[in-house]
Amino acid sequence: MDADLRRFAIFYFCYYAALGAYTPYVGRWVASLGHGGYVVGTMLGLWYATRILAPPVWARRVEASARPGHWFVAGSALTLLCFAGFTLTRSAWALFAVMAAFGLFYNAVMPQFEAMTLKALGTRSGDYGRIRVWGSIGFLIVASTYGWLLDRLGDGAFPWITLPLLLLMLAAAWPHRHDTPPDHLDTLEDAGHLWKRPGVRRFLLVALLMQLGFGAFYVFYTLHLARHGHDGATIGALWGLGVLIEIAMFWQSPKLLARFGAPALMSFCIALTVVRWTATALLADSLAWMALAQLTHCFSFAIFHACCMRRMSDLFPGKRAAAGQSLLYGFSSGVGGVLGAALAAGMWEWRGGTAAFLAGAAATLIAFILHALRAKPLPAPTG
């Protein structure tokens, strides 16, 4: 990897390293402040809600600027500044305010950076995976170690040990201050006219339901395992195991897609995810079963994501690709994430982690049925 592309890999590493601290452990920290499942769920719901709003708003500001790279550095700096507010907050409403501000900037800079990366790659777009994989490596290292670290420093240390990662992210953003994105960053508004294309709504609904099913995992997985007697080091190792197998399977996804095809692989991934959430709900006391469930993350996330990207290339070919990605990002990750966090919070308050993960399994089962009933091509007329 040449020096120019190395700086892109470094930012991916730092950005997702910070995410590796935030996603698995923010719920544990909020719970340690004495808040219940609704507050934890709302925190993650706000996180996903900002994914709907932040990218298009930020894209407009970037497009109107003569120095978009400076906006990128400023967004990274404001991410750090807003997160620092967590060191001063304890009440639910204060946490929500800081979360909304932090999420807006943190979720805004990555779509801009993705566009900058693709522009830098130019005709070498096939090298994207080799750069993006460093983000997964950063997530893996932090997610697998921070549980152990919090066991020793106490849950109250969470914002303080996450701040240095965001400071590193800002430092990694600085070399990109003179970079420019493509001439046009597509937003959800650009993709709106694609909503009625054949197969789009069914596909997006399946993707939304899969994301909804992940709600309990992203919001309560750490707390669920802790309630069943697993310590922070073990929980961190389980998070790391899922990401490690995800990285390995991403490299194999082209071969699997070529052999089995996206529709069949998607059905398998969705069905296996139903089993995964059911096992997590009912067998959380067993470390062996939890490790086995985490190994299926390579299909629940990595291969399913690869299948979605293949499906996207069919539904949104050529110049429609970027607009389609905006539509998928906002609808699935944004709306699906918000609904998933809300459902998980309600189930957690009602019957704990078992109910939350069974609800996720039910949502994923609906996704499987919808995918299995996808429209078949009409037979050719006879006579």
Write the pLDDT tens digit of every residue in 117-157.
Answer: 767 776 665 566 678 788 889 998 999 999 999 999 999 99
Tell me which residue has tokens 């991403």.
Answer: 250
Average model confidence (pLDDT) across the chain: 85
Percentage of residues in the chain having pLDDT higher than 70: 86
Tell me which residue has tokens 């070919």.
Answer: 317
Q: Which domains does the chain have, with CATH numbers?
A: 1-184 (1.20.1250.20), 192-374 (1.20.1250.20)
Query: Please, what's the b/e burial string for 343-367 (b: 16 or more CB within 10 A of its CB; e: otherwise)?
Result: bbbbbbeeebbbbbbbbbbbbbbbb
Measured CA to CA in angstroms, residue 23 lies from 195, 216, 222, 229, 327 at distances of 30, 12, 10, 21, 23
Does the model's pTM come out above 0.85? no
**Mean pLDDT within 51-60:** 77
Q: Rounded distance, CA 258 to CA 126, Å? A: 16
**Mean pLDDT within 105-120:** 81
Q: Dihedral, CA atoms, 38, 42, 45, 51, nearest 10 degrees?
A: -170
Q: Rounded distance, CA 215 to CA 337, Å? A: 6
The pLDDT tens digits of the residues spanning 257-291 come to 888 888 899 999 999 999 999 999 999 999 999 99
Percentage of residues in the chain having pLDDT higher than 90: 51
Confidence at residue 323, expressed as pLDDT on a 0 to 100 scale: 59
Residue 32 CB-half CA count within 13 A: 15
Confidence at residue 310, expressed as pLDDT on a 0 to 100 scale: 76
Decide if 353 contacts 220 (C-beta within 8 A).
yes
Tell me which residue has tokens 């290339």.
Answer: 313
The pLDDT tens digits of the residues spanning 147-165 come to 999 999 999 999 999 999 9
Tell me which residue has tokens 């082209």.
Answer: 254
Decide if 188 contacts 326 (C-beta within 8 A).
yes
